[in-house]
Structures are given as structure tokens and as C-alpha cells.
Amino acid sequence: MREGSLEAPTRHPLDWEHPDFADPEKLDAELRRVFDICHGCRRCFNLCDSFPRLFDLIDGSPTGELDEVKSADFKPVVDACTLCDMCFMTKCPYVPPHAFNLDFPHLMLRYRAAELKRGEVGFADRQLTETDRNGKLAGLAAPLANWASRTDNGLTRPLLEKVAGVDREAALPKFHGRTFLARARAGEPAVAADAPAYGRKAALYATCFVNYNNPAIGEAARAVLAKNGVATEVVYPRCCGMPQLEHGDIARVADNARAVARALKPLIDEGRDIVALTPSCALMLKFEWPLILPHDPDVKRLSAATFDISEYIVDIARKEGLAPGMAPLRGGVALHLACHARAQNMGAKGAEMLRLIPEASVAVIERCSGHGGAWGVKKGNFETALKVGKPAARQAAKSGKAFLASECPLAGVHLQQGIDRLEGEKAAIELVSHPVLLMARAYGLA
């Protein structure tokens, strides 16, 4: 049998509706099969905390083998997985089409789906993932919500830690009273008719984060596209379901996928490209949804029509060319390549986009930030998340660049917290929540 990683990895659809998917005995057998292969390989020891936890369990057993590890002790291994997909995409030599057929992240997802079915996902954890509801409610009193979420708020953060399990030192996203969708309805920016890409049409999938937490990313993307001749419409039927996927609620994700795919179908019919504004959502639309609903024609069509925002701007540059008028950004950029951008298997599009700016100096950081969505802000996880992200934070701090950006805004904030904890003198570096904001700045649009 030859080693894997000689061919492109193949991802199989999730058979999540089959009775065997959550069957305890069959799930345990598959966990032991995969964990034993991981034990014999160990290439992923430095990716996240799942693998050190697994290897410590095995090494601490009486025989030093998996057969002496109790199945009940697997949970911390599963809990440490952030579903970043980096083991599957970049490290594992045994992913399909190899005969071992390993898909570690989807096995962790299967475990969580079984937990959910048994009612073992806590109430507070489930409420944290209700991004649409939480965003709407917090937006009604955004100044109060943002005051309460500040890490230096000694009144509310200990309470939030006790009630919701959110670490009091973890930075949380801010909320806006006026969503990106509401701002977009006020009017579209003037589309440059003399731009090389004039005639393109796109629908910007706002994403819950940009819609409720950081509308500036959406406004910058829309302005850059208008400068390049692209007419845009902003849409947000509902969340992509990534927060629910983290808890194994695959049925909920499937419902969201069907609803969003139906809502965006008329826009695809009229010739619009679909552009997602954060990499997690682009990954869901392009890859995860088709694996969950492999026979849904609307989901398949949406997958084929979807671009990540960085990918889309690079596509314009390659096919039509960008509109002139960008000025250099002095000091250069340390760009963190988010795991969910890398998992889209499209190349380093964020770096390619920034290098389109005149005299661009880009230092690429390809290490995980450690954040992992809602996982990284939980008490018991936050310190681990900082530990996992420390090499990336150190790389950014030592880059000598003026700006730090990540295609994942949450990862960028987490890296900034990691930089703040580094010992010794650190050069000042400005955190920018998405590289498209730097492109807008280069055009004089921000």
C-alpha cells in the first residue's frame, strides 16, 4: 500500500441521516480505527490541541497503545477540534483516495452530532450560536451590549463567564445598531462605467458577522467592487450555519442551506456571482453544504457560483484587470491566512489581492490563530487558543509591518490579544479587520 498525499484529497458526502451515523458502537469503532492510525503517524502533533491530547492519552496508558484508553476519555480530544480542516487539507497522508479513508474533522463532527442527539450540548452553548437572534437583539442596544462585553468591565464579564462560560479575558465582537443590510438599502455606490470589469454583477452574501458586527468590511468590499465596475446587491437570507455545525447540528445547517440556496437562486439566474464576505461562510457555501446535501440542485448551483471576496477581486484582476488609482500602503502588511480560507483550496487569495496594491510588501502567516470560532472564547479554551496561536502572533509581532490583517476578523482580534501577551518590546502594528479594507484604503475609499 503506497502512502497518501500524492493526489488531491477527496471529501466524501456526510451520510448524516443514516442510522449508523450516531450509533454509539459503530462511532466508537471508527474513532478507535482513526485514532490508532493517528497514533502511528503523528504528523499533526503541532496543528491544534486535539492531537497532543490524543497522543498524551495513549502515551499515558499502561501499554502505550490505544487499546488501554477508555472511550469516555475521548471527549477532550473531540472538544479541542475547531473543524478548521487543516489536518485534512495540509497534513494527513491518509485522506481519501487513500485506502485508510481518514477524515478527522468530519469524524469529530459525527461525535458531536451524536452528543447533540443524546441531549448533551449545553443550553448556554447553544444560545451562543444563535447569531441572527443575538445580533438583532444586541443591535437594539448596541452601546450597552458593547459596554457589557468589554474585557475591562469587571461588573459584567465575570457574570458572563459564570452564566455563559465565556472567558472574561476573551475579546468579543462589537455590535452595530445599523446592520450592513440596512446600510446597503440606503443606496448603491456609483459603479465606474469606465472600469475594465464594468458589466459584472454580484450579490454580496453579508454573513452574520459583517451584517451585525462589522459592516465596514461589507462597505469596503462594495466600494472596491463599484470602483472596478461591478454592480452589487447585498443579500442576507440567514446565517450559513457554521456556528451550529460546530455543535453537530447538521439538520439545522441543512435547513439553512436549503433556505439560502433557494433565496439566492433568482440572483444566480440573472447572472450574478455570489460573493461571501468572510471565509467561514464561503467555505460553507462552496464545500460543506454540498457534502451535507449532495443531491440538492440549488445547493450545487450555489456552490459553483460562490466566491470568497479576496478570490473574487483576484479573479477580476486576472480576467479584466483592476481599475487604476491605488496608492501604496506605507509600512507593509502582515497577512494571516485564515484556516477556513486555506481550506477552500483556492490558494493564498488574500495575499494575491494585497499584492495588487502598488509597492505592496506582504508577509504571509500560515499558522493557525487558535481561535476556532465560539470555541476560542470559552472558559477552559481561551488560554489553549492563545497557546495554539502564539507562533502566529509571534510571527506577526516580528514582521516589522505596519498593518496586521486576517481574512477572518475574529482570528485577527485573537492574534492581537496574543501579541499583547508576548514578552519584551513589540513594535506597534495596526490591526485591520479584513484585507479588503486595506484595498479600499489604497483606493482612497475608506
Residue finishing a domain among 291, 319, 347: 319
Any domain includes 324: no
DSSP summary character for residue 61: S
Three-state DSSP class for 38? helix
Domain match, 349 and 237 both:
no
Burial of 163 (0-12, 13-18, 19+ CB in 10 A): exposed
Is there a single domain that holds both residue 402 and residue 308?
no
d(CA 97, CA 368): 26
How many Å apart are CA 176 and CA 141, to the nearest integer?
9
CA distances to 26, 114, 235, 371, 436 from 54, in Å: 19, 20, 42, 20, 38
pLDDT at 6 over 70: no
Instruction: Note the pLDDT of residue 229.
Output: 98
The verdict on 284 and 186 lying in the same domain is yes
Residue 226's pLDDT band (boundaries 50, 70, 90)? Answer: very high
101 within 8 A of 70, measured Cβ to Cβ:
no
What does the pLDDT look like over 266-283, one tens digit per residue? 999 999 999 999 999 999
**62 inside domain:** yes
286-314 pLDDT tens trace: 999 999 999 999 999 999 999 999 999 99
Same domain, 113 and 187: no
> CA neighbours within 13 Å on the CB side: how many for 426?
17
What is the share, in percent, of the chain residues with pLDDT greater than 70? 99
Place of cell 484585507: 435
**In this structure, are 136 and 230 located in the same domain?**
no
- CA 361 – CA 354 distance, rounded (Å): 8
Residues 150 and 68 in one domain: no
Is there a single domain that holds both residue 340 and residue 307?
Answer: no
Grid coordinates in use for 189? 455606490
Q: Report the 10 Å Cβ neighbour count for 231.
A: 15
pLDDT attached to residue 1 = 43
Q: How many domains does the chain fold into?
A: 4
* The domain boundary residue, chosen from 289, 319, 349: 319
Domain match, 297 and 341 both: no
Q: Are 371 and 390 in contact (CB under 8 A)?
A: no
Instruction: Answer whether residue 399 shows pLDDT above 60.
Output: yes
Examine the domain organization and report whether 435 and 339 are in the same domain: yes
Q: How confident is the model at residue 44 (pLDDT cuts 50, 70, 90)?
A: confident
Query: Are 376 and 348 in the same domain?
Result: yes
For residue 382, being part of any structural domain is answered with yes
- Answer whether residue 325 is part of any domain: no
User: Angle formed by the axes of helices 250-269 and 297-305, to 10°?
Assistant: 70
Q: What is the mean pLDDT of residues 172-177?
A: 95
Distance CA 391, CA 241 (A): 30
Where does the pLDDT of residue 187 fall: very low under 50, low under 70, confident under 90, or very high at 90 and above?
A: confident
Position 45 scores a pLDDT of 85
d(CA 58, CA 200): 55
**Statement to judge: residues 133 and 111 lie in one domain:** no
How deeply is 355 buried, as exposed, middle or buried, from its count of CB atoms within 10 A (0-12, 13-18, 19+)?
A: middle
The pLDDT assigned to 4 comes to 52
Q: What is the CATH number of the domain that holds 374?
A: 3.40.50
Domain contains 4: no
Q: Measured between alpha carbons, how far is residue 32 from residues 61, 98, 252, 437 in Å?
A: 14, 18, 28, 46
- Identify the domain containing residue 147 by its residue range: 123-164
Within 10 A of 189 (CB to CB), how many other CB atoms are there?
Answer: 16
How high is the pLDDT of residue 218? 97
- The predicted structure's pLDDT at residue 2: 53
Q: Which of 319, 348, 368 is the last residue of a domain?
A: 319
User: Would the pLDDT of 156 be above 70?
Assistant: yes
- Is the residue at 172 inside a domain? no
When the pLDDT of each residue in the chain is averaged and rounded to a whole number, the result is: 94
Q: How many CB atoms lie within 10 A of CB 18?
A: 10
User: Is 257 domain-assigned?
Assistant: yes
Tell me, yes or no, whether 52 and 152 share the same domain: no
Q: Is the pLDDT of residue 318 over 60?
A: yes
SS3 per residue for 250-316: HHHHHHHHHHHHHHHHHHHHCCCEEEECCHHHHHHHHHHHHHHCCCCHHHHHHHHHEEEHHHHHHHH
Domain assignment present for residue 80? The answer is yes
The structure's pTM equals: 0.94
Residue 328: pLDDT above 90? yes
Distance CA 128, CA 89 (A): 28
Mean pLDDT score, 66-82: 93
pLDDT per position as a tens digit, 405-436? 999 999 999 999 999 999 877 788 999 999 99
Q: Dump pLDDT digits (tens) for 349-384.
A: 999 999 999 999 999 999 889 888 888 899 989 999
